Chain A
Amino acid sequence: MAASRFTSDSGLTRRMLFTMLLVALVYVAAALPAFRLGPGWGLAAVAALVAAAVALCRSMDRFVLWVTGARVVDAAEEPELHAIVEMLCMTCDLPKPRVAVLDLDVPNAFAAGSGPGTAVLCVTEGLRRRLEPAELAAVLAHEAAHVVNRDVLITAVAAFPAMCAGTLLSWWAAPRGAAGLLARVVLAPVAAAAFVLYCLGTVTGMALSRHRELCADATGSLCTGRPGDLAAALARIGAAAGDATPADRRALRPVSALCVVPARLLSTHPAMDRRQARLTMLSQRLAAGT
Chain B
Amino acid sequence: MIRSGRTLTKSAGTASYRWLATAVLRAAAVILLVMTAVFFLIRIVPGDPAKMILGEYSTPEAIARMRHTLGLDLPLWEQFVRFVKTLFTQGDTGNSIIAGTSTRELIAERAPVTLLLIGMACIAAIVIALLLATLAATQKDKLLDHLIRIFPTVTLGMPIFWVGLLLILVFSVRLRWFPVGGIGEGWAGTLHSLALPAITVAFSQIPTLIRSLRVQMLEVLESDFVVTLKAAGIPGRVILFKHVVRNAALPTLMLLGVNISYLIGGTLVVEQVFGIKGIGSLLFTSISNRDFPVIQGIALYCAIGVVIVSLLIEILSWWLDPRTKGTS
- Do chains A and B interact in one complex? no
Contact residues of A with B, CB < 8 Å? none
| Interface residues of B, Cβ cutoff 8 Å to A | none
